């Protein structure tokens, strides 16, 4: 089996645009790449073969007309995806959804034959994400789910594996975003014998996905996932809340996480921390995406499906098997970079 990887992107938004830009940029550079090679595979080995959206203002246009840079994949035309949910406000505002039937979508995937369907659609589109996972399985490609929809279960993992495919998910954890940083801080405190009592993380962002996350049900679902993902780092229970609290358009594609932590040291002496972290949202997930699909390709080639547990723990906030952040980075690098 070849080391080359073909991907189809579903959701032609910020993350897809950044991946397309990154694949062009990293033809001649490794600056800013977390892992230039994973399992011997570089970014030059990744090709985008199809892209989908349901926003009628995007469907039918080429990638180059919405990505502000030159790209080998710029000529690909955005095709209609599946719409199983009420459209997010940015689409319903214009009132224009352009979608295809499930069978049309599966046939389209069968034609482009990607190794992976990378699901980067808007938050809150749970049923559509679940349908995309099913479509990937029916079309014979592996599935990567950046959204908070629950697609990666024991059942789906078995189904994908029985076809020599993998499913990775759920809810992408950015390289150095609010959740990863929070987990790293707790891990460091615990390693120094400082135990948390109370903490919160309040995230504010200005992009379209943050706006979609503000819908109460979506916000609550993502808050629960973040809070549980963070809790795993502390050896003792603590009072915790972590989630998106506000959409502030003026922040653009930035995200600011405000942290407050209260811990106790020797003789119960107080340790208090108050800080903020500002990052660029769409670039923050891309190293993790390109690392995971390369690692997954390697696991498929070697038929070492058990390693997908490590990949999901490394790349997602809600993986099937949670691992401590330090532990999953080490396990990932031991398995795929040596």
Using CB under 6 A as the criterion, which residues of the chain lie in contact with ligand NAD when the complex forms?
10-15, 52-55, 81-83, 88, 91, 120-123, 125, 128, 146-147, 172, 174, 177, 207-209, 281-282, 284-285
- At closest approach, how far in Å is the CB of 172 from ligand NAD? 4
- At closest approach, how far in Å is the CB of 334 from ligand NAD? 25
Residues belonging to the chain: 338
The smaller minimum CB distance to ligand NAD, of residues 213 and 234, is found at: 213
CA geometry: angle 141, 147, 149, nearest 5 deg: 90
The smaller minimum CB distance to ligand NAD, of residues 244 and 263, is found at: 244
The smaller minimum CB distance to ligand NAD, of residues 14 and 227, is found at: 14
The smaller minimum CB distance to ligand NAD, of residues 18 and 156, is found at: 18
- At closest approach, how far in Å is the CB of 292 from ligand NAD? 12
Selection from 328, 326, 329 nearest residue 187 by Cα: 326
Q: Alpha helix locations (H) across 37-196?
A: 63-66, 89-92, 102-112, 126-139, 154-162, 178-191
Is residue 164 within 8 A of residue 186, CB to CB? The reply is: no
Using Cβ positions, the residue closest to ligand NAD within the complex turns out to be 13
- At closest approach, how far in Å is the CB of 79 from ligand NAD? 10
The smaller minimum CB distance to ligand NAD, of residues 234 and 282, is found at: 282
Tokens of 287: 């190293």
- At closest approach, how far in Å is the CB of 286 from ligand NAD? 8
Calculate the CA dihedral of residues 30, 33, 35, 41 and round it to 10 degrees.
-60
The smaller minimum CB distance to ligand NAD, of residues 183 and 298, is found at: 183
The whole-angstrom separation of Cα 284 and Cα 280 is: 6
Report which DSSP code applies to 337.
T
Q: How many CB atoms lie within 10 A of CB 36?
A: 12
Selection from 70, 59, 62 nearest residue 21 by Cα: 70
Q: Is 59 helix (H, G, I), strand (E, B) or coil?
A: coil
What is the maximal distance between C-alpha atoms in the chain? Answer: 67
- At closest approach, how far in Å is the CB of 263 from ligand NAD? 27
């Amino acid at each position: 089996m070849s080391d080359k990887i073909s991907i189809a992107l579903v959701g032609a938004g910020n993350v897809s645009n950044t991946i397309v830009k990154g694949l062009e940029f990293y033809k001649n550079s490794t600056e800013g790449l977390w892992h230039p090679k994973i399992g011997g595979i570089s970014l030059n080995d990744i090709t985008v073969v199809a892209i989908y959206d349901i926003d009628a203002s995007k469907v039918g246009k080429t990638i180059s007309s919405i990505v502000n840079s030159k790209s080998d994949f710029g000529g690909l035309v955005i095709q209609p995806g599946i719409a199983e949910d009420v459209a997010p406000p940015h689409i319903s505002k214009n009132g224009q959804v352009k979608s295809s039937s499930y069978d049309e979508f599966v046939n389209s995937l069968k034609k482009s034959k990607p190794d992976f369907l990378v699901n980067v659609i808007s938050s809150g589109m749970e049923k559509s994400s679940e349908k995309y996972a099913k479509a990937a399985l029916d079309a014979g490609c592996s599935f990567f789910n950046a959204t908070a929809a629950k697609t990666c279960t024991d059942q789906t993992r078995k189904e994908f594996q029985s076809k020599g495919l993998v499913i990775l998910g759920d809810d992408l954890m950015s390289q150095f975003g609010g959740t990863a940083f929070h987990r790293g801080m707790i891990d460091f405190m615990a390693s120094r014998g400082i135990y948390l009592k109370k903490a919160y993380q309040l995230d504010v962002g200005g992009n379209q996905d943050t706006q979609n996350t503000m819908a109460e049900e979506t916000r609550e679902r993502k808050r629960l996932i973040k809070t549980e993902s963070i809790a795993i780092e502390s050896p003792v229970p603590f009072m915790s809340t972590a989630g998106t609290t506000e959409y502030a358009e003026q922040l653009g594609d930035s995200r600011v996480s405000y942290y407050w932590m209260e811990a106790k040291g020797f003789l119960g002496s107080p340790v208090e921390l108050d800080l903020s972290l500002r990052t660029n949202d769409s670039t923050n997930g891309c190293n993790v995406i390109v690392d995971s699909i390369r690692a997954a390709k390697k696991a498929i080639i070697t038929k070492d499906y058990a390693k997908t547990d490590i990949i999901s723990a490394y790349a997602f906030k809600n993986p099937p098997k949670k691992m401590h952040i330090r532990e999953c980075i080490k396990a990932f690098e031991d398995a795929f970079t040596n």
